[in-house]
Amino acid sequence: MAEASYQSISPSDFFYRNREIAGFSNPSRALYSAVRELLENSLDACEARRVPPDIYLRIREVLPSREEEGPEVYSLRIEDNGTGIPDEYIPLCFGKVFYGSKYILRQSRGTFGLGGTITILYGQITTHKPVRVASSIGKEIHEYEMMIDIEHNEPIVLRHEVHENRKGWRGTIVELQLEGDYSRSMNKIYEYLKQTAMVCPYADITFVDPKGRLYRFERATDQMPPPPRAVKPHPKGVDVETLRRMVASTRARNMKAFMMEHFQGVGEVTAERFLNTASIDPKTPPDELGPEDIVKLVRAANDFEEFNRPDPSCLSPIGEELLGMGIRKELNLTDADFLMAVQRRPSTYLGFPFIVEAAMAHGRSLARQGFSGITLYRFANKIPLLFDESSCVIWKAVNRNINWSTYLVSPDTPLVVAVHVCSTKIPYKSVGKEFLADQPEVEREITNAIRQLARHLRLYISRSIRMAREKRRLSVFERFLPKIAEFSAKLADKEEIPDITPLLRAVGADLEEVERRIKEVPQVVGEGC
C-alpha cells in the first residue's frame, strides 16, 4: 500500500501551489492579473479617501526575451494618491495571505483580500526579487523592501526607511518584478484600462507600456459617486456561525437588545415580533442560548417576512449620469447617438443588497468605429470583467433572456450594452473574479434593466427608420424639383427659373425640422424604475 503522508501548508503555500485559480495561470494572464489587482487596490484606496484617483502605471522590460515572443521579466510600478497604509500594517498587507482591510461589510473592488499579496508572491517565485512599497498617510513616508516567507505566510522585511514628506504626499507606490508576456496580454490590459475609465470617469489613469507608448485616460469630471458605508448585517443573511460569534461577543443583556443592536433596521417592535415567531423569550440573556436556539433563530430569520429591505448605503453605484458620461467619453459618442443609462432600485439575494445599473449606446459613431452586433461590457463593483463571458449571468441575460428582434435590433446592429452589478458580496464563481453565478434575483434585475433600455432604443430606432425614409423621400423632391423647374422654364422659353422653395415646403421638405425631430429621442436620461 502507498503510504499516506500528512502535512499542513500555509495559505501562502496553498495559493503558491494553486496560483491559476487566482488568475496567475501563465505569463500572459499573470501580467494582466497583476495590473488588475494592483490597480483595483489603488482605486479602492482613492475612493476610501474620497479623492478623484490619479494613477500612474508603468511596465518596463527588465530581461529581454530569449526568443521573439514568449515570457520575459518585467518591472511593474503603480503609484496612487489613495489613503496610504499606516506604517505598521504595510508588511502584513503585502506579505501575508488573508490579511487586509477588505473583510468588512462594504462594497469594494477587492473581496478576497488576496490580490496584492498573490501578485507579489507570483513576482517572487518567478524572479526571486523583493517588492518595494512606499506609502504615506500624510505624515512621513515609509519605504519597505520585502519578500514573503511562503512556507510560514509571513513577510520578511529586508529594508525599512523613513523619509521626510515635505510636500505632504499621500498615497502608495508598489514596484515589483515578475515574469510576464506583454505581447500576448497587451490587448487585454488596454481593454481593461479603457473599461475601467468607462466606469470611473472621475479617474485619471496614465499608463506607460514596455514599448514606451503612453496611454492617457483623462477624467471627465471631479464628481465621485457617494462612498459606501460599512453596515450592520441584515438578519436574513446571517448564518449559524455568524450568529454564534455575535452571541459569544455581545454586551447586550437580552435578546431583544441584541437584535436591535447588532442588526440593521430592527426596531423594538420588529425585534419582539420576530423573537416571538422564533419562540425565544425577548428577555433571554444571549449567553443562555444553546446551539439548538441559534439554529432555530437562523431558520426563523430566513422565514420572517417583516424585516426592512437591506440597507443599500453600503453600496456605491456609479449613477446614471457618471455611467453615461464614462461611456460617451471612452466610445467617443456624439449627441446624435443613442445613449441611455438606468439604475434599478436596490434589491437583495441571500440577504446581500445589490444594485444593477445598465447603459445602452447605438448610432453612427459606433458603426464608424467598426462596432457590429452586440458588444457587451460587464462590470462588478466597478471592475471590468473580461474573461469567460459566456459563463456569466450577465451574458445569459443579454443573450438568452432578450428577444432582440422585438426591439428592432438585427444581428449586425452596432449596439453597446454595459451592465454594472454592485453588491457587498458579488456572487463570483471563482477567485479569479471573472464571472457571476446565476443568482435568480440578480438575473431578473439585469434582464429588467436591459428591457427598460431596449424599449427606448426601439423608439429611437423606429424613429431613425422613419426619418431616414422621410429624408429619402425629400431628397427625391430636392433632387428632381429643381431639374423639373429648369426643364419647364426652358420648355416655356422663360429665362427665369421659378422659385421652388414654397413647393418643397409644401411636401414637408424642411430638413432642419426633420433633424430636430430626430434629436428629440431621449439621451442619457434615467427614468427611475
Is 348 a binder of its own copies (CB under 8 A)? no
Interface pick for its own copies out of 58, 194, 309, 429 (rule CB under 8 A): 429
Least spacing, CB of residue 329 vs its own copies, in Å: 27
Scan residues 120-179 and list those touching its own copies (CB under 8 A): 124-129, 150-151
Least spacing, CB of residue 415 vs its own copies, in Å: 23
Interface pick for its own copies out of 229, 329, 444, 451 (rule CB under 8 A): 229
Characterise 430 by phi-psi region: left (phi > 0), alpha (psi -120 to 50), beta (else): beta
Is 95 a binder of its own copies (CB under 8 A)? no
* Whole-number Å distance between alpha carbons of 297 and 259: 11
Interface pick for its own copies out of 156, 158, 240, 507 (rule CB under 8 A): 240
Scan residues 51-90 and list those touching its own copies (CB under 8 A): 66, 83, 85, 89
Is 50 a binder of its own copies (CB under 8 A)? yes
User: In terms of CB distance, is 92 or 408 closer to its own copies?
Assistant: 92
Unique residue bearing C-alpha cell 459617486: 225
Rounded to 5°, the CA angle 195-117-32 comes to: 30
* Whole-number Å distance between alpha carbons of 56 and 525: 33
Is 99 a binder of its own copies (CB under 8 A)? yes
Scan residues 435-454 and list those touching its own copies (CB under 8 A): 437
Do 442 and 421 meet the contact criterion of CB atoms below 8 Å apart? Answer: yes
Interface pick for its own copies out of 60, 194, 244, 329 (rule CB under 8 A): 244
- Alpha helices by DSSP H, 152-290: 182-199, 240-249, 255-262, 268-277
Least spacing, CB of residue 164 vs its own copies, in Å: 23
Number of residues counted as binding its own copies (CB under 8 A):
73
Region from 268-276, 295-303, 400-408, 464-472 binding its own copies, contact rule CB under 8 A = 295-303
* Whole-number Å distance between alpha carbons of 474 and 480: 10
User: In terms of CB distance, is 34 or 359 closer to its own copies?
Assistant: 34
User: In terms of CB distance, is 241 or 288 closer to its own copies?
Assistant: 241
Q: What is the DSSP letter of 344?
A: P
Least spacing, CB of residue 162 vs its own copies, in Å: 20
User: In terms of CB distance, is 56 or 98 closer to its own copies?
Assistant: 98
Do 359 and 379 meet the contact criterion of CB atoms below 8 Å apart? Answer: no
* Whole-number Å distance between alpha carbons of 203 and 46: 9
Least spacing, CB of residue 299 vs its own copies, in Å: 8
* Whole-number Å distance between alpha carbons of 353 and 309: 8
Is 10 a binder of its own copies (CB under 8 A)? yes
Region from 356-364, 374-382, 421-429, 520-528 binding its own copies, contact rule CB under 8 A = 421-429
Q: How many other CB atoms are there within 10 angstroms of residue 228's CB atom? A: 21
DSSP strand pairing (54-63 vs 204-208)? parallel
Of 191, 184, 218, the C-alpha closest to 379 is 191
